[in-house]
Each structure stands twice: as structure tokens, then as C-alpha cells.
Amino acid sequence: MRSPRVRPERIIAAVDNMRNDGNPLFRDKAACALANDQIHLNDDQRLRLYERLVEALRDEKLQMRQIALKALQIQTGQTKNFDPAAPPQVREAALQEWTRWLDAYRSHL
């Protein structure tokens, strides 16, 4: 049985909801959908999701950074020692690790 394909605009909408919805419950639901629905994504869609989640680690809102990290951790098993509550300069080192990981992931596609 084939897994259903997820349209790219669904990924973009879910990340946008995760980052910008005015209701925290909807932000959380969008993050859960991103973390759990990812098994149905093809390689390009998965890359797009990872790119947006890594980008969300830079969000100014602590909750967004926490949600993005949790989704990445669920899907990759990694945190890269990223602490969403750390000061920006401390987070930057882990962000660089995520960026290198994303570049390596992209190069293997």
C-alpha cells in the first residue's frame, strides 16, 4: 500500500501555522503534524521540512524554537546540543551544527 503524498504547500502552511498562529494550541498541533506526518514525505519534501524547522530555530519566540527542536529531535534523534532558552550567541554554535547537518543531508539526495 502506497503512502499518501503530502503536497509541498501543506508543509509550508504547517510551518507557517507553527510559527505564526495566534492560538498556542494551533501552533502546537501544527508542530505535531510536522513531526508525525513526515513519514509520508518524499526526499525533497523532507528536505523542505528540515530547512524550515532549522530556520525556525532562529525564531525570536522561545516557544517556536522549542517546538522546532522537538520536531527535529523526533525525526532525526538529534538535538545538536541546541538549547532554545540559551542566549543568542550560545544558540548560534548549535545552529551552525544544524546548518552543517542540513548541508550534508542535502548533499546525499
- Tens of pLDDT, residue by residue over 43-86, are 888 898 899 899 999 999 998 899 889 889 888 899 999 999 99
Question: What angle (nearest 5°) sits at the alpha carbon of residue 31, between those of residues 62 and 19?
Answer: 50
Do the domain assignments include residue 13? Answer: yes
Do the domain assignments include residue 39? Answer: yes
As a whole number of angstroms, the distance between CA 62 and CA 107 comes to: 30
Give how many domains the chain has, as a whole number: 1
Do the domain assignments include residue 78? Answer: yes
As a whole number of angstroms, the distance between CA 18 and CA 5 comes to: 21
Do the domain assignments include residue 3? Answer: no
* Pairwise pLDDT comparison (24 vs 44), residue with the higher score: 44
Residue 10 pLDDT exceeds 70:
no
Percent helix, strand and coil across the chain, each to the nearest 5: 70, 0, 30
Do the domain assignments include residue 88? Answer: yes
Give the residue numbers spanning the domain of 90: 8-107
Q: pTM for this one?
A: 0.74
Cell of 105: 543531508
Most confident residue range from 4-18, 30-44, 59-73: 59-73
Do the domain assignments include residue 36? Answer: yes
Q: What is the pLDDT of residue 46?
A: 85
Residue 37 pLDDT exceeds 90:
no
